[in-house]
Structure 1
C-alpha cells in the first residue's frame, strides 16, 4: 500500500513499535506524575485560600430607568477587585502563590508525558492511562494561556485544578499500565490527528464546564443578594453570572467545532482501518451523543428563554457524557476501541 503524505510526515516519528521500553525514563515519568499531583494540591490550597480570604466587595447603589418615564429601580453594582497599573486586576498573595505552583505543576506534568513518550519511542497516547495524562495536561495548558492573557482569571484556579487532580488520581489508581509498545490497532498516522484534536476539545469543554458550574452557583448568589441577604464571600471575586455565561459559551463554541472535527476524523480513520465510516461502536455512539448534547446547548443558549441556568445545565450534562465516554464506555462496553484500556 502506498503511503500518503501524512503517513510520510508523521509515521517515522510516532509509530516505532519494535523497541523495548526504557524503564529508566518510565520511572522518571511516574515520579514526575506524582510530583505534579503534589504541587497541584498545594496550588489548589493556595487558590482556595485566596477565594475564601477575600472580603465581599463593596456595593454601590445606582438608579436606572425601569419601565415608564420617571419610574426608577435600584441596581446593585459591585466594585471590582483592586486594579493596578495597566488595568490588570491585582492578584492577592495567595493567588500569586497558587499561580506559581500551578505553572510549576504543569511543567512537571508536561515533563512526565515527554518522559513517557521517550520511554516508549512514540506519542504517549496508547492506553487509557496515557490518554488521561495528556488530556488533563491540556486543561492545565489552556488555563496557563488564560492566565498569561489576564490575571483576572486566577479566581478560576480552584475550579480547574480539581478536575485535573481527579484525572491524575484516577489515572494512577485505576488506569496505570507499564510503558510498552504501541498497540497494532493504533499504528496509524490518524492517531495524531484524531486524538490530539479530541484532547484539545476536551480541555476546552472541561474549562467551559467549570465556568458553567460557577455560573449556576453565582446565579443563585445573585438571587440571594436580590432578596437582601448577604452573599457568600467565597464568590466575592467571581464575575457576575452573565459574564461567566458568555465566556463559557465562547469556549463551548470553539470546542464544539473541534469536537465536530474529531467525530469526522474518527469516521475517516474507521473507514481506513475497518472499511466503514460508521459501525455503531459504543465509542462512536457516545461521541455522537456528546456532539448532539453540545449542539443542543449552543442552540439553547441562543434561544430566548433558555439562556442562563437552563443552558448551563445542558453544558453540565454534556460534560457528564464526555466523562462517561472516557471512563465508562471503555469499561462497561466491548467494542473496537477496547484496545485503549
Structure 2
C-alpha cells in the first residue's frame, strides 16, 4: 500500500504541475477572453491536485512508518521521499499566502525531481542501527527537512526572478555572465533528471556488472586485514574499481570490460562506482540538455522567460525572502540545536567536525548571511535571488554529496 501511495502521489503531482503550466501558457491563447480568471482557475485546479497528491504522499509516509516500526527517515530513500513531501507542504503554505500560479511551475518540479531521485535507492525497510534508535530521530530529521523544504521554495522563487529579469537578448558582459549562471542552474536540474532516467532505463533492462577487489578493513581490535569485497554497478562501467576482477558484466555496445580503472588515489571499493556515476550523470545530462536546446532552439532560460511576463517581480522577490525567513529558524532548530543535543546523547559531544556537521553549519551560515544582507544591506532583487539559488545548491550538496561521497559518522544515511 505504501509503494502504491507514493506512485499515485508522484502521478498526481505531475498532473498538478501540468495544470499550473496550462494556466500560465494557456492565458496567451486568443480563445481566452479573461486571462486573469483563466490563470486563477487553473491555479486552483493545480492546488487541488497538489493537496490530493500530498495526502497520498502522507499515506505512504504513515503506512511505511507502521510497516517499519520507526519513522521512515533513516536512509536516503526514506529521507528524500520525506523531503519531497515537505517541499510540497512548504509550497502549499506559500501558495495559499500569495496565490501565485507560476510558483507551481518552478516549485513542484523540485519536489518531483527529489522523489524521482529517491527512487533510485533500495526501497527495502531496514532496521535502525543503534545510533538512530532515539526519539531525537523524529525531532531532528523532520524539522531539518521542513527547514530545507522552505529553502527549496525560496530557490524556486529565486530562479523565477532570475528567469524573468535576466536580459537574455543582451550581449553585454554582465548580462552574459547572468545568462550563464541561470543556464548552469538549469543544467544541474537536467543532470539530476537524466541520471534518474538512466538508472531506471538500465535497471529496467536488467543491466548488472559485479567486480571483486581487495579492501583493507580494520576490525574491533584496530587490526588491519585484507578482505575480498564485491561492488555492483547498475550503470555500464566506463570506470571500473582500481585493480579489480570482473565477476559478472552484461555487455554494453560490445563493451565487456571497463574502459579504464579508477585512479589509485581514489580509495575504497566504491570509489570507481562513484566516479562512474558522476561521469554517467554528466554524460546523460549533457545529452538531455542538448536535446532540450535543439527543441527550444534557444537557451533554456530564454525559453522559460516568456512564462514570467505579467508577473509582479516584487511579489516573486517577496516570496523568496519569506520562504527563507520561515525556513531559517526551523532549520536552526532541527539541523543545529536538536542535532547537537542528539549528538551529545549518542556520542558524548555536542560537536565533532564530522563532514555532515560541518556542511550543515555552512548552510546555516550561508542563509544567515543571506538574511543579514537582505535586512541590513538592502540586497533585494537579483542579488537576493542569486543567493537563494546558490544556497539551495549548497543544501543539495550537503544532502547528496556529503552523504554519498564523503565518509563520516553520518555515512549510514547514504545506504
Give the TM-score, by structure 1 length: 0.74
Which of 123-132 and 284-293 deviates more?
Answer: 123-132
Does residue 391 of structure 2 align to residue 318 of structure 1?
yes
Are the counterparts in 1 of residues 16 and 50 from structure 2 also a CA contact under 8 Å?
yes
- Counterpart residue number, 1:164: 111
CA deviations 1:24-67 (Å, max 9, x no partner) are: xxxx11121122112211221221121112239xxxxxxxxxxx
Are the counterparts in 2 of residues 138 and 203 from structure 1 also a CA contact under 8 Å?
yes
Are the counterparts in 2 of residues 301 and 308 from structure 1 also a CA contact under 8 Å?
no
Indicate which of 16, 32, 52 corresponds to 1:43: 16
CA deviations 1:259-284 (Å, max 9, x no partner) are: 22221211121111111111110100
Does residue 260 of structure 2 align to residue 287 of structure 1?
no
> Cα distance, 1:237 vs. partner?
4.7
After superposing on structure 2, the runs of 4+ consecutive aligned residues of structure 1 that deviate more than 6 Å are 221-224
Are the counterparts in 1 of residues 23 and 101 from structure 2 also a CA contact under 8 Å?
no
Task: Determine the C-alpha separation between the residues in 2 that align with 1:113 and 1:302.
Answer: 37
Task: Determine the C-alpha separation between the residues in 2 that align with 1:232 and 1:278.
Answer: 45
Structure 1 residues 312 and 45 mapped into 2: Cα distance closer, same or farther (>3 Å)? same
Structure 1, unpaired ranges of 5+:
1-27, 57-79, 84-89, 225-230
Matches within 5 A, 1:203-218: 203-218=149-164
CA deviations 1:203-224 (Å, max 9, x no partner) are: 1111111111111122236999
Are the counterparts in 2 of residues 297 and 314 from structure 1 also a CA contact under 8 Å?
yes
> Cα distance, 1:166 vs. partner?
0.5
Does residue 251 of structure 2 align to residue 179 of structure 1?
no
Does residue 56 of structure 2 align to residue 108 of structure 1?
yes
Are the counterparts in 1 of residues 40 and 101 from structure 2 also a CA contact under 8 Å?
no
- Counterpart residue number, 2:325: 253
Structure 1 residues 92 and 252 mapped into 2: Cα distance closer, same or farther (>3 Å)? closer
Structure 1 residues 303 and 222 mapped into 2: Cα distance closer, same or farther (>3 Å)? farther
CA deviations 1:54-113 (Å, max 9, x no partner) are: 239xxxxxxxxxxxxxxxxxxxxxxx9647xxxxxx744433332232222111111111
Are the counterparts in 1 of residues 95 and 103 from structure 2 also a CA contact under 8 Å?
no
**SS of structure 2 residue aligned to 1:54:** helix
Task: Determine the C-alpha separation between the residues in 2 that align with 1:308 and 1:233.
Answer: 19
- Counterpart residue number, 2:295: none
Structure 2, unpaired ranges of 5+:
171-303
Are the counterparts in 2 of residues 293 and 317 from structure 1 also a CA contact under 8 Å?
no
> Cα distance, 1:333 vs. partner?
0.9
- Counterpart residue number, 1:72: none
**SS of structure 1 residue aligned to 2:137:** helix
Structure 1 residues 97 and 305 mapped into 2: Cα distance closer, same or farther (>3 Å)? closer
Give the TM-score, by structure 2 length: 0.62
Which of 231-240 and 180-189 deviates more?
Answer: 231-240
Structure 1 residues 93 and 312 mapped into 2: Cα distance closer, same or farther (>3 Å)? closer
Task: Determine the C-alpha separation between the residues in 1 that align with 2:93 and 2:373.
Answer: 28
Are the counterparts in 2 of residues 51 and 236 from structure 1 also a CA contact under 8 Å?
no
Task: Determine the C-alpha separation between the residues in 2 that align with 1:37 and 1:50.
Answer: 20
Does residue 339 of structure 2 align to residue 266 of structure 1?
yes
Are the counterparts in 2 of residues 103 and 144 from structure 1 also a CA contact under 8 Å?
yes
Task: Determine the C-alpha separation between the residues in 2 that align with 1:292 and 1:306.
Answer: 17
Task: Determine the C-alpha separation between the residues in 1 that align with 2:122 and 2:105.
Answer: 26
Which of 247-256 and 313-322 deviates more?
Answer: 247-256
Task: Determine the C-alpha separation between the residues in 2 that align with 1:221 and 1:48.
Answer: 23
> Cα distance, 1:147 vs. partner?
3.9
> Cα distance, 1:320 vs. partner?
0.7
- Count matched residues: 276
Structure 1 residues 38 and 308 mapped into 2: Cα distance closer, same or farther (>3 Å)? same
Structure 1 residues 145 and 243 mapped into 2: Cα distance closer, same or farther (>3 Å)? closer
Does residue 400 of structure 2 align to residue 327 of structure 1?
yes
**SS of structure 1 residue aligned to 2:140:** helix
- Counterpart residue number, 1:63: none
Structure 1 residues 245 and 222 mapped into 2: Cα distance closer, same or farther (>3 Å)? farther
Which of 273-282 and 136-145 deviates more?
Answer: 136-145
Structure 1 residues 81 and 250 mapped into 2: Cα distance closer, same or farther (>3 Å)? farther
**SS of structure 2 residue aligned to 1:302:** helix
CA deviations 1:289-320 (Å, max 9, x no partner) are: 10111111112223446332122212211101
